[in-house]
Amino acid sequence: MEKASLPVLTVAILAENDSNNWEPALSYPLPSEPTIELIDDAIDQVLNFLSWVTEQVAQKDSAAAKREIERAAARLIELAQAKPKAFSAWLLDCERQRLLKKFDGQTTH
């Protein structure tokens, strides 16, 4: 049996799954160059998932809660490791936008 591949995580997917469906944030693969917005949104959803696990699951099934907390922690590590590169790309884009605005302002006078 062939394992189904998951779609690459996007901001749109996270927005579609904003209520109690944290699975995309937890398990969909990150794109090769995730944006800072995607990483921050995914972190928020994983933290919301952890809150739900500790409030709803831990009292009923401590083994399941432990598994889910470990899975969420692994994803948070993955997201944290991707954040510096995404932040650098965001800063470069901000600088590029600033330079373009400056250039556009000079060419219109």
> How far is the C-alpha of 46 from the C-alpha of 49, rounded, in Å?
5
- The confidence score (pLDDT) of residue 3 equals 61
Q: What is the Cα gyration radius of the chain?
A: 19
pLDDT exceeds cutoff 70 at 82: yes
- pLDDT tens figures, 22-54: 999 999 999 999 999 999 999 999 999 999 999
DSSP category for residue 60: T
Give the chain's mean pLDDT: 88
